[in-house]
Amino acid sequence: MQWDRALRKTDQRQLDAQAWHITHVFPHSPAALAGLSSGWRLTKISGKPVTQDRLLNAQLNGNTPLEFQDETGQCHAWHHQHFPFGLDLSQPFDAAFRKRIAQGAMTDEDRSALIDRFRDGAVDPFADLIPCFQAALGAPQSVFVRLGLKQPAASDALPKDGHHEYFNFLALGFLAQGKLELAGQACDRADDIRAASEQRSFSMHPAAMALYCRAHIALAQGDENAAIAHAQKALSYYPDFQSLQRLVWTLTGTAPKDRSSQPVGSRFPTDYALPNSDPLNELPGAGHVLSLTTALQSLDEGQFLIVLAYGSYRSNYYGNLDLEKLAMLHAACPNLIGEVHIIAGSDYALDARHRRYAEGLAQKRGLPLTILWDEENTVMARLNGLGSPARFVLDKDGIILSTATFADERGLWQAVAQSRLKSEQNHVHH
């Protein structure tokens, strides 16, 4: 992969607090080669303020001028040709962001920004957002009686579906303020709403947030064993989250093992031979059996096989996470991805629209996508307890190059780094 390295200094101006922050620059990426750095800000896209839609369009369409600002206020223009950029960006909690949260109109990007703050251990901003979460959960008022926020109301109906996440975010805000009892009650309310919902699967992020809060609450109550148990369970969900790593380290005095990349560098633990069939009967399938061995043998040197194994998790999970960015990556680097295998073990789909959008984008970009039906969930059972959903980037030898997500580019750049390392090691041995 060859990248455009041009980064040009422009004018200097006052630091723009409303710009998007660069939280990480991935090694070997276009951004790293251009000289961009974490701590800088993305200030303009095509000369206009940064918005979620403009950033997505820049990723989808490429050839978009981007403007950055370093810590001194110096501005830099960068006209990169296409996705991927090699940047992990976090949007500011500006007035527009707060308005969306308060109106209960949180977008996927807003949710990701909040989760990013939690991942990095920055819970103080959640305290500032408490009024926004309260406004979003303003009806019915009785919800807040347990939280001490409002007077009792006549009815005791639950908030509308989906707002359970707001309670977990609210809990983090109360935790940041030291209001542990309210944090615990907010977690309880989120649990109640999920239990009452007919939805069969949920993101593990809210669960991790609740466990994080409960660990702090247990510690304050003198129950160190419970605190450790809560923290370690949360870390098992997201072993790469710095907030959870630090919490476990603080409670146990021992740095947790880096389980986020544990399988990387090893061989994929199982072969499989599964029928090409959509469990929802929406996409045409040839019905033939496809094996991992055959797929690996078809790869050219330097190509990747992507395995998205979702087990009993909802079958459209990939629709709003990895598949969109994989389609973009394939359009930018059409020879990099040899095949994508989606291994589904469930016929449950929360929202089929996600599937149609993601799969439509994949087809438009020519992404070689195959859905494999694993009715008995045999593949997930052999993945050494890695959990569901799971994702893998494999090279031609079946070596795991990455287990990180593609939604934020981490999966790609982990794979690139591991592939380079393997190539260097092979060169030394020969």
Q: What is the pLDDT of residue 103?
A: 85
Closest CA to 322 of 303, 337, 335: 337
Average pLDDT score over residue span 75-83: 81
Q: What is the pLDDT of residue 17?
A: 61
Measured between alpha carbons, how far apart are the two ends of the chain, in Å?
Answer: 24
Q: Which amino acid, residue 97?
A: F
Of 69-78, 252-261, 388-397, which gets the smallest average pLDDT?
252-261
**164 confidence band (pLDDT: 50, 70, 90):** confident
**160 confidence band (pLDDT: 50, 70, 90):** very low
Average pLDDT score over residue span 375-380: 82
**399 confidence band (pLDDT: 50, 70, 90):** very high
Q: Which amino acid, residue 58?
A: A
Q: Please indicate whether residue 188 or residue 148 has the higher confidence score (pLDDT).
A: 188
Structure tokens that stand for 221 in this block: 């109550």
Q: Is the pLDDT of residue 226 over 90?
A: yes
Q: Please indicate whether residue 212 or residue 103 has the higher confidence score (pLDDT).
A: 212
Q: What is the pLDDT of residue 419?
A: 85
Q: What is the pLDDT of residue 351?
A: 61
Q: What is the pLDDT of residue 247?
A: 93
Report the C-alpha gap between 111 and 169 in whole angstroms. 10
User: Vertex 410, ends 404 and 412: CA angle to 5°?
Assistant: 90
Residues facing 49 on adjacent strands? 44
Q: What is the pLDDT of residue 224?
A: 95
Residue 111 burial class via C-beta count within 10 angstroms: exposed 0-12, middle 13-18, buried 19 and up = middle
Q: Is the pLDDT of residue 162 over 50?
A: no
Give how far Cα 428 sits from Cα of 28, 30, 264, 352, 417, Å.
20, 27, 20, 49, 17
Q: Is the pLDDT of residue 265 over 80?
A: yes
Q: Is the pLDDT of residue 345 over 90?
A: no
**426 confidence band (pLDDT: 50, 70, 90):** low
Percent of the chain with pLDDT over 70: 78
Structure tokens that stand for 372 in this block: 């494999």
Q: Which helix (H) or strand (E) holds 337?
A: strand 337-344
Report the C-alpha gap between 406 and 415 in whole angstroms. 10
Q: Is the pLDDT of residue 156 over 60?
A: no
Average pLDDT score over residue span 167-189: 92
Q: Please indicate whether residue 109 or residue 320 has the higher confidence score (pLDDT).
A: 109
282 SS3 class: coil
Q: What is the pLDDT of residue 384?
A: 61
Q: Please indicate whether residue 213 or residue 330 has the higher confidence score (pLDDT).
A: 213
Q: Is the pLDDT of residue 258 over 90?
A: no
Judge contact between 363 and 404, C-beta under 8 A: no
Give residue for tokens 């710009």.
19
Q: Is the pLDDT of residue 94 over 90?
A: no
Judge contact between 393 and 411, C-beta under 8 A: yes
Average pLDDT score over residue span 2-17: 62
pTM of this prediction?
0.74
Report the C-alpha gap between 240 and 257 in whole angstroms. 10
Q: What HEC string does 115-170 produce?
A: HHHHHCCCCHHHHHCHHHHHHHCCCCHHHHCCCCCCCCCCCCCCCCCCCHHHHHHH
Judge contact between 184 and 214, C-beta under 8 A: yes
Structure tokens that stand for 281 in this block: 């009967």
**339 confidence band (pLDDT: 50, 70, 90):** very high
Give residue for tokens 């347990």.
146
**Domains within the chain, CATH numbers bracketed:** 8-90 (2.30.42.10), 95-257 (1.25.40.10), 273-429 (3.40.30.10)
For residue 401, the 8-state DSSP code is E
**142 confidence band (pLDDT: 50, 70, 90):** very low
Q: Please indicate whether residue 6 or residue 398 has the higher confidence score (pLDDT).
A: 398
Average pLDDT score over residue span 407-417: 83
